[in-house]
Structure 1
Amino acid sequence: MQGTETVDVLIVEDDLRVAEINRRFLEKLEGFQVVGMAASGEEAKEWMEVMQPQLVLLDVYLPDMKGVELVWHIRQHYRQTDIIMVTAAGEIEVVREALRGGVFDYLVKPILFDRFKRSMENYRNHLRTLSHQGRLDQHQVDRLLRHTRDELPRTSSSADLPKGIDPVTLEKVVQIVNEDGETGLTAEQVGQLMGASRTTARRYLEYLVSIRRLKADLAYGTIGRPERKYFAV
């Protein structure tokens, strides 16, 4: 799968209004096309046999079966197909069973477009990484295995932050590291880019790591001690 190829998507949803919303969301995003819409499990199986889509957007409660049953059917017969659950069902056992079935993401209704878009972008990035030739390093594997994360607030108020952490500066640090891509930055480099000392930059960086908005790892150079680098998640 190359990063420029279009992802064929099957929407499995018995609520026609919700199915239409999902379809319109997908139409706003590049790289995706809806190849079918099914309102039941049996209808979904028929679409799967004919179209064999790359991705299925799957509701949990269908008229004739539970969506998790369809997850295992897809896993057994269409191993190249990925699944994103789109449902109002947030019960822990349902989520646990879906995760056991290897679903890529789990979106709980009502879904905001920004969250939907982020899920689809994460999926496209996932496919891009898997399309690379050769070997993956540990950081790339970590990103593949942790593509879905607890939804963390993208902004913070002063009242929610530890002493010495400014919300505006915090978001600036996140932006600096995100713009660097996958190569990572040291605390000293971040400090230079934000116009602050290395100690100040490290304080912000370590806080962001603690709330899982950034990732840290040791980078081994040719000489000297390994450096702690910070990466986007």
Structure 2
Amino acid sequence: MSQTIEVLIVEDDVRIAEIHRRFTDKVEGFTVVGTAITGEQAKEWIELVKPQLVLLDVYLPDMKGTDLVTFIRHHVPDTDVIMITAASEVEVVQRALRGGVFDYIVKPLMFERFKESLENYRNKVEKLKQSQQLSPEQIESLWNRRTQGESIHIEHSPKGIDPLTLKKILQCVLTMEYNGITAEMLSKESGVSRSTARRYLEYLISQKRIYAELIYGNVGRPERRYFPISS
């Protein structure tokens, strides 16, 4: 059996931190070793425990989570980070990417998205332990890249789902990996109607190739945004 992955939760809202802890307990192979509500507390935990994975918010009382990512990279480079935050500023996302953050989950958090992220992380950790050398395909999969050969088995597409349109729509979603895409955006990008775009998107969800989240903006109603499921 694989070794349990130790997790540190860094979240200043104790209620949300407790949700993260409960979610983590539901995913096999992970255990929470501590919770920090400030950046300084997190530094102490990280230096003392050296957890394998940190679930990190961006907005902390004494520093930004992206600054903590820099600290982790300098002091405990073997520790990985998944950011769970409401932050959507380009600068924050860029710093997370450059800091080698494994995943970036936008609040409000849903369990399926959380579970998927942790399971993808666990699977990749196990892949890296299997051998001293990886095949090109295995290396590609570690960065969530897909080739046309990894596409949906379109020959079994149901009635009303055109294989070529399906492939085109899937590619549109994959190119919007980090920001996601709405049915309206996809309609403009692919040239199909909004209702057609939504039908294909929901079909891709049923095939477990993408997932949807309700994203809450500053004003107006939440929008349903679609994201690719990582390998």
TM-score normalised to the size of structure 1?
0.66
Q: Give the secondary-structure state (helix, strand or coil) at the position aligned to 1:35.
A: strand
The yes-or-no answer on 1:86 pairing with 2:84 is yes
Asked if the contact 2:87/2:106 (under 8 Å) is kept, the reply is yes
Give ranges in structure 1 of 5+ residues lacking alignment. Answer: 150-182, 215-231
Shift of 1:146: 2.3
Q: Specify which of 30, 49, 52 is matched with residue 51 of structure 1.
A: 49
**TM-fit CA distance, 1:204:** 6.8
Match of 1:6 in 2: 4
Deviations 1:182-216 (A, max 9, x none): x96997xx74xx499xxx996477446524477xx
In structure 2, what is the equivalent of residue 219 of structure 1? none
Give the residue type in structure 1 aligned to 2:15. Answer: R
Equivalent residue runs for 1:1-233 within 5 Å: 4-146=2-144, 191=155, 194=156, 203=164, 206-207=167-168, 210-211=171-172, 212=174, 233=231
Q: Distance in 2 between matches of 1:21 and 1:186?
A: 34
Aligned in 2, Cα 1:28/1:132: closer, same or farther, shift over 3 Å? same
Instruction: Find the aligned partners of 1:206 and 1:94 in 2 and give their Cα distance.
Output: 32
Q: 1:124 is paired with a residue of what secondary structure?
A: helix
Task: Please tell me whether Structure 1 or Structure 2 has the larger radius of gyration of its CA atoms.
Answer: 1
C-alpha spacing 1:62/1:207, structure 2 compared with 1 (3 Å): same
Distance in 2 (CA, whole Å) between partners of 1:82 and 1:122 is 13
SS at match of 2:104: strand
Moved over 3 A (4+): 183-187, 200-209, 211-214
Measured in 2, the distance between the counterparts of 1:74 and 1:195 equals: 46
Which runs of 5 or more structure 2 residues have no equivalent in the other structure?
175-203, 210-229
Letter in 1 for 2:171: S
CA–CA separation in structure 2 for the residues paired with 1:184 and 1:63: 43
Q: TM-score, normalised by structure 2?
A: 0.67
Note the alpha carbon deviations across 1:4-44, whole angstroms, 9 max, x for none: 11100000011001100100100111100000000101111
Distance 1:186 1:116, change over 3 A: closer
Residue type of the alignment partner of 2:119: E
CA RMSD of aligned residues (A): 2.9
Residue 36 of structure 1 aligns to a residue in which SS? strand
Q: Which residue of 2 aligns with 1:223?
A: none
Q: Partner amino acid for 2:61?
A: P
Letter in 1 for 2:44: E
State the distance in 2 between where 1:203 and 1:69 align.
44
Instruction: Work out the CA distance in 2 between the residues paired with 1:115 and 1:128.
Output: 20
Q: Structure 1 residues 13, 134: closer, same or farther in 2, change over 3 A?
A: same
How big is the shift at 1:45?
Answer: 0.8
